[in-house]
Amino acid sequence: MSQELHALFSQLELSLPFVKPSSTTLACEDPSSGAVVGHLAQDDKPSTLVKIDAAARSFAALREVPAPVRGAIVRAMGERLREHKQALAQLVCAEVGKGIEEARGEVQEMIDICDYAVGLSRMIGGKTLPSERPDHRMFEQWLPLGPVLCISAFNFPVAVWSWNAAIALICGDPVIWKPSLHAPLSAIAVHGLLQPLLASAGHGDAMQLVIGPDDTVAKTLVDDVRVPLVSATGSCAMGRAVAPRVAARLGRTLLELGGNNAVIVDATADLELAVRAVAFGAAGTAGQRCTTTRRLFVERSIAAALTDKLVAAYAQLSERVGDPRDAGNLIGPLIDASAVGRFSAMVAHAKRLGATVLAGGSSIHDGELGAGHYVLPTLIRVPDSLDLDADFAPMQTETFAPILYLRSFPNGDLARAISWQNSVEQGLSSALFSDSSRAIERFWSPAGSDCGIANVNIGTSGAEIGGAFGGEKATGGGREAGSDAWKAYMRRQTCTINGGETLPLAQGISWSST
């Protein structure tokens, strides 16, 4: 793979930055083979502080640049990404094991958010508000906030960073990127392509890349008061560690954490449509999306029919597990051996509790696909006799692997299914398959889905950048990408001007020292 990486970096007109291994270097592993392919130098606390300082100093100049001019820089970034889409997709595919088609889609997300941000750079602004005082004008304006720290996860090694970076830059904020240690090469490549564009505009320090361990580098970044916003994507446990540290210094967080997402299918649903959506949602990216479908609640009258269709679909999927570079394969490896261990342990736990494995359920051992971290997409039926809260803990757990739990709900009892859907700590994505307008409106009502994303007749996985992305409860409450998510990267200021010759007070107060 090392030769492949050299070739990809050469296509990007960059040099692969591997160094001699030492006690302080980072080992880069190919999840498709399990082999270490090279080592990278890492930042330490002193170098991290230098990069924070550079970003903080760059803010003074970047915030003075008109937003449409900042948008022009982001437009150039999008064009640069378009030029190198295929090579970047191949790099994402090789580094994290994401299927090549999904990897192309991830790079396209970067391009799309750049396009979106360019338009937004001419639209962000505040409101003019009515004043109760004569000859007064009141309005609000939005101003740049300061350096933004983006902590990204391995499963979307470049797209989620771009959601933050493109919007932050048009808002006037420098960006500091700490990528997952499972995906540093993709970050190095994107940074190497795009940072020179900022540099040519005189703002090279406004884009920083920091690669290093959590116990030193991440803590240094998160604790620094010069970083007013920390945008962190990862597990709920990571969010629980990051949020208090930022709150202790009264900073802001934008958290995109776990998702234990459910699909509900009622008796009126188009089953073929539901099967396609559930299969992709549950098995796409080898179950390593925050929006992966992990729970399936099916109305009892159609449960047998839908189960049969899913078992057949999973049989086909199991034949398309393999090297993600091969477009004929739909499912690549898990990220590392520990992920395989968690998958196997959870399947065994579910079986001990009385669940039945209908498809998959095992890892793929050496000799079949080499030493890569492959598992079969897994469908598990949970008996109706089990109490989901008291008797079946696996459904409460987000296992970052392609495990889907199926459970039927009583005929006509959509409220029960929605209650089960909402019973987990996370609240990211949800979906209902139904042709009943009453069911759909119930799903979207205040008593319906408690998630940040609530889809009808499409799955839980996959989102367009025009909508705000994020979830509730332990998912963190943050919103990224479209809609008004840009407000997280700015500070609001309320302004009032008195154009008259008197000084009337608000609320009709009369006060005079004479």
Residue pLDDT, tens place only, 470-488: 999 999 999 999 999 999 9
Residue 369 has pLDDT above 70, yes or no: no
Distance CA 240, CA 336 (A): 23
Of the listed ranges 340-349, 362-371, 451-460, the one predicted with least confidence? 362-371
Which pLDDT score, from 0 to 100, does residue 62 have?
A: 98
pLDDT value at residue 513: 73
pTM for the model: 0.95
Residue 77 has pLDDT above 60, yes or no: yes
Range 148-171 average pLDDT? 98
> Which residues are 481's β-sheet partners?
468
Span 485-504, average pLDDT = 96
Q: Quick one: what percent of the chain has pLDDT higher than 90?
A: 94
How is domain 40-257+476-494 classified at the CATH fold level?
A: Aldehyde Dehydrogenase; Chain A, domain 1 (3.40.605)
The residues carrying an active-site annotation are 256
Structure tokens at 402: 């392609």
Torsion of CA 284, 309, 347, 282, to 10 degrees: 20
- For 270-326, list the strands marked E by DSSP: 293-299
**Residues 115-145: pLDDT tens digits?**
999 999 999 999 999 999 999 999 999 999 9
Domains of the chain by residue range: 40-257+476-494, 261-466
Least confident of 4-8, 385-389, 401-405: 385-389
Q: Residue 387 has what pLDDT?
A: 81
Lowest mean pLDDT among 30-34, 140-144, 225-229: 30-34
User: What confidence tier does 432 reach under pLDDT thresholds 50, 70, 90?
Assistant: very high
- Whether 199 has a pLDDT exceeding 80, the answer reads yes
When the pLDDT of each residue in the chain is averaged and rounded to a whole number, the result is 96
Per-residue pLDDT at 365: 66
Closest to 276 measured CA to CA, from 263, 289, 290: 263
Q: Are the CB atoms for 435 and 270 separated by under 8 Å?
A: yes
Tokens coding 123? 């639209």
Residues 204-232, mean pLDDT to the nearest whole number: 97
Phi first, then psi, for residue 466 (nearest 5°) are -70, -25
- Assign domain 261-466 one CATH number from 3.40.309.10, 3.90.950.10, 2.30.30.140, 3.90.400.10: 3.40.309.10
Type and span of the H or E element at 453: strand 453-456
Read off the pLDDT of residues 237-261 as tens digits, 9 standing for 90 and up. Answer: 999 999 999 999 999 999 999 999 9
CA torsion sign for 378, 382, 388, 390 is negative
What the block records as the tokens of 118 is: 């360019």
| pLDDT surpassing 60 at residue 366 | no
- With a CB cutoff of 8 Å and minimum separation 6, the contacts of 259 are 289, 290, 291, 292, 294, 398, 426, 428, 429, 460, 471, 475
Alpha-carbon distance values, 175 to 197, 223, 372 (Å): 14, 16, 34
Residue 368, pLDDT score: 58
Q: Is a pLDDT exceeding 60 seen at residue 452? A: yes
